[in-house]
Amino acid sequence: MNRAKITGIGFHVPERVVTNQDLEKIMNTSDEWIKERSGITERHWIEEESNASILAIEAAKNAMVDAGITASDVDLVICATLTSDYFFPGISNQLQHALGMRKIGAFDIKAACSAFVYALSIGDQFIRTDQYKTILVVGAEVQSTALDLSDEGRNISVLFADGAG
């Protein structure tokens, strides 16, 4: 039986860094309050012109370099995300197109926080059953655009960031 293994990792986060002090200026919170409850001091948020697929594409490129493979080595793309750029097509299809993977399967898994774990598990099962040899699994989220940045939303909004890996 084949065994799945992670052969490369990669990530990409937006350049924009939002500190706790930045959040203090827009809501009733403090650096101390946030650190005490979460340990977080800063997070990365996208700029207006960016989106989850851009983050996913860069993370995928980095992972393939780390694994020493090219797009032609990949048999399947699985993307774990709740924050797709569009209802359709999914980020996996955008990855497939951007990386020139025209003749392989691609699908998204939308299962909130557990999506990446499901994506890894599904990829593992495909490899164990000899359906695929090399699977690109990417998680990508852009939470910053949906956060409630009012005082009422501070308990949640201070926790979330954007990125892919």
Domains in the chain: ranges and CATH: 17-164 (3.40.47.10)
Q: Where do the DSSP E strands lie in the chain?
A: 17-19, 42-44, 76-80, 105-109, 135-142, 162-164
pLDDT in tens, 112-157: 999 999 999 999 999 999 999 999 999 999 999 999 999 999 999 9
Tokens of 89: 């097509």
**Are residues 127 and 135 in contact, defined by beta-carbon separation less than 8 angstroms?**
yes
Whether residue 97 contacts residue 79, with contact meaning beta carbons closer than 8 Å, is answered with no
Q: Look at residue 58 in the predicted model and tell me its pLDDT.
A: 99
**What does the block give as tokens for 164?**
């892919």
pTM score: 0.94
In the chain, helix, strand, coil percent, each to 5? Answer: 40, 15, 40
Tens digits of per-residue pLDDT, 9-65? Answer: 999 999 999 999 999 999 999 999 999 999 999 999 999 999 999 999 999 999 999
